Amino acid sequence: MDGRIYNDLFKDVKDPDNIIDPILRERYNRFMSECPIIGTCHKRTNDYIIVDLSDEFYNGERLAAPIRTNDMIFFPSVGTSTELRRQYEAMQRINNPGVKLPNGRLIQPPINRNLCDFLFNPLYARDIKDSIQTTVDVVKRRRLEEHLNNKQIEAVAKALLADDISLIQGPPGTGKTTVIAEIIWQEITNNPKCKILLTSQTNLAVDNALERLKDKKVIRPLRVISDMRSNSDDVIYNINILDEWVDKPNDYNKDNIVNNWIDSIVEKIEKDKEFADTTREWHDYLAAKGTEVRKSFVNKYKSEVNLIAATCSICGSQKFFQTFQKMYDTEEVEFDVVIMDEASKATPLEMAIPMVLGKKIIIIGDHKQLPPLLDENGIDTALQKIGRNDLAAKIQELKESQFKKLFQMAQKFMPNLVTTLNIQYRMHNDIMQTINHFYNDELGENGLVCGIQETQDLPDYNIKGSRWHGIKLEPFINPDIHAIWVNVEGREVKDRTSFKNMEEVKAVQTVLAALSKAEGFDNYINAQRKIEDKEIGLITFYSSQKKELKKLEQERIIDPKYDYRIDVVDRFQGMERNIVIVSTVRSNSYNGIGFAKEIER
């Protein structure tokens, strides 16, 4: 520690809940309530740890508290500490560029030197100078997505023209991913050497955006993921999978973009009958996909990658930096455009990690949906423990997303930098009306517009866009009903720090039983091709209610021939299911509904 070796024995308690020894348990409890924060762990093995002691704990001469044999050292989870370090380093680039660190290294400024200003106040961002209408006309003439609506085209045009930042609000089902794909395509078409970073707080959002870019010419994506996430569902652009395929091809890693590229070349050669004899040797060489072929094509693809996709956290990792430097043969990691999706769920610190890497930042989110997910009690306790009651008192401010602050300020004073998408293509109009009043501020009295006309709801499961479900069990449901409100005469029950409502659990069971008996229900489920489209979503606001709903599935109380996705609302954002049942839980004599009153939920 601090360059010296201490031979004392340190204990790492990996599972505090299972400490059996009473003395050890007592020491652990006392430790957790009174323990000092000693510093940052830089390395830990089975034999030793390396800790950079904080100034508060070690002033250069003596420790603030003795370290004794049999004392315990508590580590936050590896993921959490790594994430915090990456956030800290990103904020250092924003707040302290050019400062010399003790190791002699200078803190590099963000790629866009104005970031330190407009990240917190969009008034410092450069306004759009060129004609937005002219760029709108260009996008209309030359677009990747044929059916873009006017607001989507406006969002793309403003994003292309922005110098520093562009903000896009995308309410549910309004085609945010479509807009992202169009922006990427337009940027690369304008500049084939453009380097774009596509990022989000979650892997799901990144994967969904990449899905829209499959088979799009000009765009050459690469997905960078954590080594811990080797079982990623979407492997086609995964850099780990490409490297594995070069070394040892198998059934799992063969579904990648480079293998598909080679297959397409082989297929074209086979179709060219005129030169079949001339190209036969070349055809056989490629079709065999030997090691040299695999290696050569993967290296070629990597050298022409113009879109890198990764979560916010991974953007600050050593692996991410090494991948970029190796592909582009440069030391500085720099992107022409950084596109951040679902930004309303990210904290300013999470946003900072990818944003310091871009010349231009395009932020997409919806502040009317879930804000950053914070463990308020944990943060509050930690701040109080280190004597920062002033910060603990401000914890409420962190619940408001940075996207919301930026968007609302820019909407008033820098309207050229913002767009709100207004046509949704996901929900039936009856469902849309349940949330429409939340968007009156941005979209006026009419709010959202349903982009799918009722005339398109034809009784055919194969028609894209049709919301006809064909389910009938009178008087409960028929094909013209899309939203049902079920009144439950039952009260909530406090369950530790959560709530549950057993009468609502019974109601969910009754609704599912009715659906399973309804005419056309099995036909509707069986007609769905994707696994997620076959699943019935069960959403609730409270973890205790989730446990009770899970019991229905685990104990086979609800029909096991159907698939279910059961989770709390915070874990469901970004997902889609054709059938969703929501258990609101709260019901009491004093009309209190807790955080369910927050419109984002």
pLDDT digits (tens, 9 = 90+) for 550-578: 999 999 999 999 999 999 888 787 788 99
How much is the average pLDDT of 331-339?
Answer: 95
Architecture of domain 469-597: 3-Layer(aba) Sandwich (3.40)
| Cβ contact 178:171 at 8 Å | no
Report the predicted TM-score, pTM, of the whole model to 2 decimal places. 0.79
For residues 139 and 397, which has the higher predicted lDDT (pLDDT)?
A: 139
Q: Which residues contact 154 (CB under 8 A, 6 or more apart)?
A: 132, 136, 419
Q: Helices 239-247 and 257-271 meet at what angle, rounded to 10?
A: 60
- pLDDT tens readout for residues 90-147: 888 998 888 887 777 788 999 999 999 998 899 999 999 999 999 999 999 999 888 8
Buried b (16+ CB within 10 A) or exposed e, 189-217: eeeeebbbbbbbbbbbbbbbbbebbeeee
Is the model's pLDDT at 488 over the cut of 80? yes
pLDDT bucket at 195, cuts 50 / 70 / 90:
very high
Is the model's pLDDT at 469 over the cut of 90? yes
Residue type at position 354: P
How much is the average pLDDT of 340-350?
Answer: 87
Nearest of 223, 194, 498, 216 to residue 359 by alpha carbon: 194
For residues 388 and 476, which has the higher predicted lDDT (pLDDT)?
A: 476
Task: Give the integer Cα–Cα distance in Å for 295 and 258.
Answer: 10
| Cβ contact 155:421 at 8 Å | yes
| Cβ contact 570:373 at 8 Å | yes
Task: Provide the pLDDT for residue 180.
Answer: 93
Is the model's pLDDT at 475 over the cut of 80? yes
Task: Give the integer Cα–Cα distance in Å for 270 and 413.
Answer: 59
How much is the average pLDDT of 305-319?
Answer: 91
Q: What value does the mean pLDDT of the chain take?
A: 84
pLDDT bucket at 15, cuts 50 / 70 / 90:
very low
For residues 260 and 397, which has the higher predicted lDDT (pLDDT)?
A: 260
How much is the average pLDDT of 10-31?
Answer: 48
Task: Provide the pLDDT for residue 397.
Answer: 60
Task: Give the integer Cα–Cα distance in Å for 219 and 194.
Answer: 10
Q: Which residues contact 450 (CB under 8 A, 6 or more apart)?
A: 423, 424, 427, 428, 429, 432
Q: Which CATH superfamily is domain 79-220+310-421 in?
A: P-loop containing nucleotide triphosphate hydrolases (3.40.50.300)
Task: Provide the pLDDT for residue 565.
Answer: 93
Task: Provide the pLDDT for residue 339.
Answer: 98
CATH 3.40.50.300-classified regions of the chain:
79-220+310-421, 469-597
β-strand 449-450 against 423-424: which pairing, if any? Answer: parallel
Is the model's pLDDT at 232 over the cut of 60? no
Which residues make beta-bridge pairs with 540? 568, 583
β-strand 418-420 against 335-341: which pairing, if any? Answer: unpaired
How much is the average pLDDT of 493-500?
Answer: 88
Task: Give the integer Cα–Cα distance in Å for 117 and 119.
Answer: 6
DSSP state of 243: H
For residues 395 and 544, which has the higher predicted lDDT (pLDDT)?
A: 544
